Amino acid sequence: MYLLYLDESGNENDPNDRYFVLAGVALFERQTFFLTRDIEAIQEKHFPNHQPIPFHASEIRSGRKMWRQVEPEKRAQVLDDLSSAIMLSPARGRILFAAAVEKTRDLYGENAVARATEEVCKRFDLLLQRRFQRDDDRQRGLIIFSQGRFDARAKIWVKDFHRRGTQWGAINNLADIPYFAPMHESRLLQAADLVSHATWLLYERRDPRLFHTLLPAFDAADGNIHGLVHVRATEAVCDCPACIGPRGPSPWLGGGPTES
């Protein structure tokens, strides 16, 4: 089974945010222990003998709450270490997904969240389908959301996608309705939070510093990145990493790492 941990970034109702992002990390069930262990080791490295510290990427980056007392260089190192822990997980059992929804007059608020949820659910399902068709590797998927404003509605949305399908077709490989957990209690939801915040920074602020390292881990096949989607407000040509496809490296990143 693959477990997909998801968190959100951006405010779906705030007109000051152009984007709402839903993103996270899918892990093969036997890898969850190891990534959790590696993130715990980051706390021990930087804050030994300290009570558990939730790694919330936006708070770390901007120096909010407890991070106000931590020097910027150490905060940057914590974010780099979290990115490295994700990337050092075995690639076959660790895949990233993200939907960056550009808000419009019609696509905002709950509609933006529902669209992002539909995009990510379908892409996760397609990964599982591709694993079965290409590798005869039959796996089911389970989605775990960070507990937040959309718990009850997300359950209904995903259940509805599972029963009736999405605008792109049926979802066949999810084992159950989604589950929800507090982000501060799950190191894997904290990893999802990092992916979500990195994606939001890229699209909202054109800041690739966190995203650049993570890009090679997004689900990809046949020269296309399937795990990352940009829901655009217009039909204008876009050269972001999700839209550029096989045309080449995205100028948003200035070149970057690759993963075989």
Residue matched to tokens 């262990």:
37
Cross-strand bridge partners of residue 94: 27
Q: Is 237 exposed, middle or buried (0-12, 13-18, 19+ CB in 10 A)?
A: exposed
On whether residue 258 sits in a domain, the answer given is no
Model-level pTM?
0.90
On whether residue 92 sits in a domain, the answer given is yes
- Rounded Cα distance between 108 and 53, Å, is 33
Q: Which value, to the nearest 10 degrees, does the dihedral of the CA atoms of residues 173, 92, 223, 120 take?
A: 40
From first to last of the 260 residues of the chain, give the pLDDT tens digit: 999 999 999 988 888 889 999 999 999 999 999 999 999 999 999 999 889 999 999 999 999 999 999 999 999 999 999 999 999 999 889 999 999 999 998 888 888 888 998 899 889 989 999 988 888 888 889 899 888 766 656 666 666 655 555 554 556 777 777 788 899 999 999 999 999 999 999 999 999 999 999 999 999 988 889 999 999 988 888 999 999 876 678 899 874 444 43
Q: What is the pLDDT of residues 62-75, one digit of tens each?
A: 999 999 999 999 99
Task: Report which of 177, 147, 143 is spatially closest to residue 160, judged by C-alpha positions.
Answer: 177
Helix (H) / strand (E) element for 7: namely: strand 2-9
Q: Which two tokens stand for residue 135?
A: 């590798």
Domain membership of residue 6 as a residue range: 2-247
Calculate the average pLDDT of the chain: 88
Q: What's the domain count of the chain?
A: 1
- Rounded Cα distance between 119 and 210, Å, is 22
On whether residue 221 sits in a domain, the answer given is yes
On whether residue 255 sits in a domain, the answer given is no
- Rounded Cα distance between 127 and 182, Å, is 26
On whether residue 257 sits in a domain, the answer given is no
Supply the angle between the helices 72-88 and 32-46 in degrees, to the nearest 10.
160
Which amino acid, 83?
S
Task: Report which of 139, 5, 145, 25 is spatially closest to residue 90, judged by C-alpha positions.
Answer: 25
